[in-house]
């Protein structure tokens, strides 16, 4: 049973890395990924049915709180889905770690975007440019148009932190 837990944790981390890259590229978090993360969270806790119940209760409470925040326009729907999907696989202390690490990573992300105001406006990245150059050009363009932060990146960082805190 221990190898199942390790496999699910590794798959969750891989999915979170994918979420971060897709969120940077499109600012969308797909439902299928959130469902897969929730499923992996439940599979990782099959040895302890009580912990599954506790995780579902904590995730439901978290959903209600985040839904109110979403209704006020302070967080995106994909971010709510991703946080709740991650909470399904974590105990209460893990959810607290998830939210704390996400908030810290979100602060770093916001600081980077604030620093982008001081950087020069890039020209279009020519064909064959490095990935970093292309990402910078697109992110600076989005920043100038007041696009939202790719907060899925911060949530993915918080999720990876919480998953690694559980131990592989």
Q: Band of the pLDDT at 1, cuts 50, 70, 90? A: low
H/E stretch holding 5: helix 2-26
pLDDT single digits (tens) 14-65: 999 999 999 988 889 999 999 999 999 999 888 888 889 999 999 999 999 9
pLDDT for position 2:
80
Nearest one of 129, 54, 38 to 88, comparing CA atoms: 38
The answer to whether the Cα torsion of 150, 155, 156, 158 is positive or negative is: positive
**What Cα–Cα distance (Å) separates residue 143 from each residue in 30, 99, 130?**
23, 25, 20
Could you say which DSSP state residue 27 is in?
A: S
Mean pLDDT of 4-20: 91
Nearest one of 133, 139, 89, 131 to 114, comparing CA atoms: 139
Helices (H), 27-148: 31-43, 49-71, 77-88, 92-115, 131-144
H/E stretch holding 164: helix 151-166
Is residue 146 predicted with pLDDT exceeding 60?
A: yes
Cα 67 to Cα 50: distance, rounded to the nearest angstrom = 26
Contact 133, 6 (CB under 8 A): no
Mean pLDDT of 126-140: 76
Nearest one of 89, 93, 81 to 155, comparing CA atoms: 81
Q: Band of the pLDDT at 152, cuts 50, 70, 90? A: very high
pLDDT single digits (tens) 83-113: 999 999 899 999 999 999 999 999 999 998 8
């Amino acid at each position: 049973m221990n190898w199942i837990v390790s496999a699910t944790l590794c798959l969750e981390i891989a999915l979170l890395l994918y979420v971060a890259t897709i969120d940077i590229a499109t600012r969308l978090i797909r439902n299928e990924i959130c469902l897969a993360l929730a499923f992996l969270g439940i599979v990782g806790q099959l040895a302890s049915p009580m912990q599954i119940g506790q995780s579902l209760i904590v995730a439901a409470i978290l959903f209600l709180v985040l839904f109110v925040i979403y209704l006020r326009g302070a967080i995106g729907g994909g971010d709510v889905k991703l946080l709740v999907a991650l909470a399904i696989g974590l105990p209460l202390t893990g959810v607290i770690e998830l939210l704390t690490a996400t908030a810290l990573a979100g602060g770093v992300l916001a600081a980077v975007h604030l620093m982008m105001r001081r950087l020069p406006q890039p020209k279009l990245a020519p064909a064959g440019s490095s990935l970093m150059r292309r990402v910078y050009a697109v992110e600076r363009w989005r920043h100038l148009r007041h696009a939202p932060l790719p907060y899925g990146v911060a949530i993915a960082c918080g999720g990876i932190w919480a998953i690694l805190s559980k131990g592989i």
